[in-house]
Amino acid sequence: MGIALVSPEQSQSQLSADSIQQTITSMIDNLIASLPDPKQLTAEERRGMIARYSAVLESNFIYWMTATLLAVKAEEARPILLENLHEEVRDAHPAMLRRFSIAAHAFPTDSDSLSINEELTSMRLFLGRLSAVQSLLAMAFFEGYIQKFMPYLAELAALQGSTEMEYTDVHGVCDIAHTAGLFQAASIEMTVSPLEPEKDPYEGVTLLRDLMHKIVFYTNNKANVQ
Ligand SMILES: [Fe+2]
C-alpha cells in the first residue's frame, strides 16, 4: 500500500497533542519571562532560589520520571523514558546538582526544604495516581522549563561567586532532546491510552508550574508571597 492511512482518532489525537504542546510551551515561556533580574536580587534571594531548586530537583527528578514510566501503558513510549533515566543514573545528575549548589554556597537548609513542602507534596501525590498522559505532560513541562531556566540558574550561581557550571551546561543542552522526546511519548500515549475526557490534561503541569513559581518567588515575608 502506497498511502499511509491515518484513522480519524489518530489525526484527532495528533491535533490535540500539538495544541497541548503549544499551550505547555507558552506556560514555560511565560514563567521564564517573569523571572526577576538576578542583578537586582539580594545575595540571600539568589542563594534561596538555588537552594529551593536543589531541594526539589536533586531527590525528585529521577523519582518522578520513574513514576511516569510506571504509569505509561504504550510500549513505544517507554524507551524514551528509559533512555532519560539511564542518562540521569549513569551520569549521576543528582551528584552534579549537589556539587553545583555546594559550590554556590546554596546547599538547601531545612527552612529551604520546608518552604516548598506543600507544593512538593501535591506533586508527589499527583504522580502517585499514575495517570500516564497527565504525568507525561507534566514531565514535558519539567524538562522544557529546566532547559530554559539553565542560563538563569547559572547566572545566579556566578553572581554568588561560583564557577562550577557542569550541571547547568549539561542540562541546557541535553534537555532539548528530552523535552521533544517527552512530547512525543505523550502523543503516543494519547493515541494508545487516551486520558478520560472529563480529566484536565494540564493538572500535573499546573501543579508543577506552581512549584517552579514558588522556587523563584518564595519570600519569608508572608505579605509578599506571590
Ligand atoms: Fe538531569
Identify the CATH class of 52-220. Answer: mainly alpha
Centre of ligand 1 from the C-alpha of residue 216, in Å: 19
Interhelix angle 117-128/203-217, nearest 10 degrees: 160
Centre of ligand 1 from the C-alpha of residue 64, in Å: 12
Angle at CA of residue 113, ends 121 and 123, nearest 5°: 20
CA distance 22 to 92: 31
pTM across the whole model: 0.91
Q: pLDDT of 63-116, one tens digit each?
A: 999 999 999 999 999 999 999 999 999 999 999 999 999 999 999 999 999 999
Q: Which amino acid is at 76?
A: E
pLDDT class of 219 with cuts at 50, 70, 90: confident
CB neighbour list of residue 9: distance below 8 Å, 6 or more residues apart: 191
Interhelix angle 78-90/93-103, nearest 10 degrees: 50
Centre of ligand 1 from the C-alpha of residue 65, in Å: 10
Centre of ligand 1 from the C-alpha of residue 88, in Å: 5
Neighbours of ion ligand 1 (CB under 5 A): 93
φ, ψ for residue 195, nearest 5 deg: -70, 140
Q: Among the residues of the chain, which ranges form H helices?
A: 8-33, 43-71, 78-90, 93-103, 110-115, 117-128, 132-159, 166-192, 203-217
Torsion, Cα 143 148 149 150, to 10 degrees, reads 90
CA distance 197 to 55: 35
CB distance 74 to 193 below 8 Å? yes
Centre of ligand 1 from the C-alpha of residue 141, in Å: 14
Q: pLDDT of 130-167, one tens digit each?
A: 999 999 999 999 999 999 999 999 999 999 999 999 99
Residue closest to 20 by CA, chosen among 146, 138, 173: 138
- What b/e string do you get for 91-129 counting C-beta neighbours within 10 Å, with b at 16 or more? eebbebbbebbebbebbbeeebbebbeebbebbeebbee
CA distance 143 to 99: 20
Query: Hey, where are the domains in the chain?
Result: 52-220
Centre of ligand 1 from the C-alpha of residue 45, in Å: 24
pLDDT at 183 over 60: yes
Centre of ligand 1 from the C-alpha of residue 147, in Å: 10
CA distance 168 to 174: 10
CA distance 186 to 106: 35
* Number of residues that make up the chain: 226
Q: pLDDT of 7-62, one tens digit each?
A: 655 566 666 888 999 999 999 999 999 999 999 999 999 999 999 999 999 999 99
pLDDT of residue 1: 41
